[in-house]
Amino acid sequence: MTQRVKVGADEWLVADASKTTLMTDGLSGCVAIGIAAGDKIALAHVYSECSQKNDNWASYEAALDKALADSSLAVAKGTPAHVVYSDPSDKWLAGHIADWLKDKGFEVKAQMAPGCAIGAVDGAVALRPKNESNRAEFLNGYKTSADADAAVTRTALSEHARSAQPATVVAREEFKAPPQALDVRMSDSRHPAHGVYNEILGKIPKELVNCETDQEKPLASEARQLASAMTVEYLKHGGGARIDKIAEGVGKGEGTLFLATDPPIASGHAMAVPLAKADNEVYPQLERDSAREAQVLCRDQAAKDAQTAEQQRVQRTAATLN
């Protein structure tokens, strides 16, 4: 049986292509590298800590050199290498990685997606981008570098390297009896919506929450409350779509924070939160209440995704038997 293993930030994993599918997501500001060579596959998640601002490409390049050498991939000149990124406004990291791969003799194929998976599909190894039709695969039933088969090898690309978050649902039985909800804010990494919250917090314009720098936003109560409320709005609309932009409306929309996705959500309804809501005394529990509501939404979405994944598995099995 093929195991699915999710790659965490600043991890480079290598596995047997016939036994494992490697996957990663949460690529906001980060870049994935997918390679298939011989009977092996490799997938890396290069963390956004590698940036022009931090001026640390040289150390990451050395780590990537070592990871590639230690992988023992049967790489021939012209071997395809996939570069996957999700933020069109920041191509600095993707560009450096593409140049590095070209220097190694790879044929680079770049695409935009919030995540990707590489493994055998219908007998051939391929890289698939994460999208609405397969998002359940990236939430449920996978392993990480912490509990994967010993044959899956790991190289850390920096001191920031960490295993991916455990799957929302490992088996259907867990789904029938979900664990007790945690009384934590979305700023806590244990919260199931922590990743989405962080992405939304990062895209809120600093001037709208009275911050001089983006680094101040995680410490600003108004920013945290707005990000928490907007995360709930995003999850209510199903999540999954790439968060494109967060901005204050104009005209009649002035005083309201809007979130846009790419592609636009199917319902066509706006995802919006009044700016005044975050500093109004009527909402002293906004951050905590949003955190609790988001946990319920994540649990319900996970239930739907698990059912979808099971239906797809049954359909694939039936197609194979026929």
pLDDT tens-digit series, residues 208-264:
888 888 888 888 888 888 888 888 888 887 777 788 888 888 887 788 888 888 777
Q: Are 57 and 96 in contact (CB under 8 A)?
A: yes
At 216, the amino acid letter reads E
Mean local confidence (pLDDT), 261-284: 64
3-167: which CATH architecture?
2-Layer Sandwich (3.30)
pLDDT digits (tens, 9 = 90+) for 158-194: 999 999 888 764 433 333 333 444 567 888 877 888 8
Q: Is 21 helix (H, G, I), strand (E, B) or coil?
A: strand
**Which tops the pLDDT comparison, 76 or 227?**
227
132-146, 204-218, 306-320: the lowest-pLDDT one = 306-320
Instruction: Name the residue ranges covered by the structural domains of the chain.
Output: 3-167, 194-302
**Which tops the pLDDT comparison, 181 or 46?**
46
Rounded CA separation 143/162 (Å): 14
In this prediction, residue 173 carries a pLDDT of 33
89 pLDDT above the threshold of 90? no
**Which tops the pLDDT comparison, 187 or 94?**
94
pLDDT, mean over the chain? 82
Mean local confidence (pLDDT), 254-275: 76
Q: Which of 182, 206, 204, 203 is nearest to 193 (CA)?
A: 182
In this prediction, residue 18 carries a pLDDT of 87
Rounded percentage of the chain residues whose pLDDT exceeds 90: 32
